[in-house]
Structure 1
């Protein structure tokens, strides 16, 4: 057991617009350097939808309306000695794009609307790839 590390709840928002999906290239772990669904940690007292709307604005400058959960998964990473580094429980919500011009900020190195045909050329996070392919036939 790793006494001080506890699971952290986080959400992502799956946002489509004009045949493209919103993805960010992550600056920090988990999935550092990979393209993934944008999102982040739920703050105490915050509803999942509020978190998704806040995080997407913080990372991309876009305004969205978050909906219901569509996918969930764990991210558990250990160092080379097996010591637990972090444990996230992530819930992805479907969301509607409302407004804004995309601009990478916060934990995003890049933020883009990505067409289905572009996905195979990018380093997509495996959980994001699975979600897009299995839940939305978008891969």
Structure 2
């Protein structure tokens, strides 16, 4: 097996997190392929010995400097990108989480070129990674339930 994410010999496991603050969710424009320039949730690869939730929170802090508290886990998302000949170029299984903001003001960096706190109505106006709109719909539902407790 190889750790090469381009033309992998196996799927990679990643975790992401939809962080909510005052009814808005944090999105970051990806700074690297795949999906460079598209808005997505902060996240990245799960490391050995790390839970999905730990990975999501670690990646959030590393990528954008924000700390959060998890409130839920959504259904996993599988991203598979193939070449015209069928060869798998990327294959990532992502476990998206929902969290509430605790501290830190988001900052850009190599993995997050632009950062926005958006409302649910802003989703349609942004270029998003594939499948993110559906994930955000579910995340907003969970965040509203959490806020109502």
Quick one: which of 134, 140, 145 aligns to 1:136? 140
Pair 51,4 (structure 1): closer, same or farther in 2 beyond 3 Å: closer
- TM-score, normalised relative to structure 2: 0.81
Structure 1, unaligned stretches of length 5 or more? none
Quick one: which of 108, 119, 123 aligns to 1:119? 123
Q: Which residue of 2 aligns with 1:88?
A: 92
Kindly state the Cα deviation for residue 67 of structure 1 after the two structures are TM-superposed. Answer: 3.9
| Cα-to-partner distance string for 1:35-84 (whole Å, 9 max, x where unaligned) | 11111000011111111111001111111123431121111112233221
1:76 and 2:80 matched: yes
Higher strand share: 1
Quick one: which of 54, 59, 62 aligns to 1:58? 62
Kindly state the Cα deviation for residue 131 of structure 1 after the two structures are TM-superposed. Answer: 1.2
Structure 2, unaligned stretches of length 5 or more? 1-6, 144-149
The root-mean-square deviation of aligned C-alpha atoms, in Å, is 2.0
CA distance in 2, matches of 1:124, 1:68: 22
Aligned length: 136
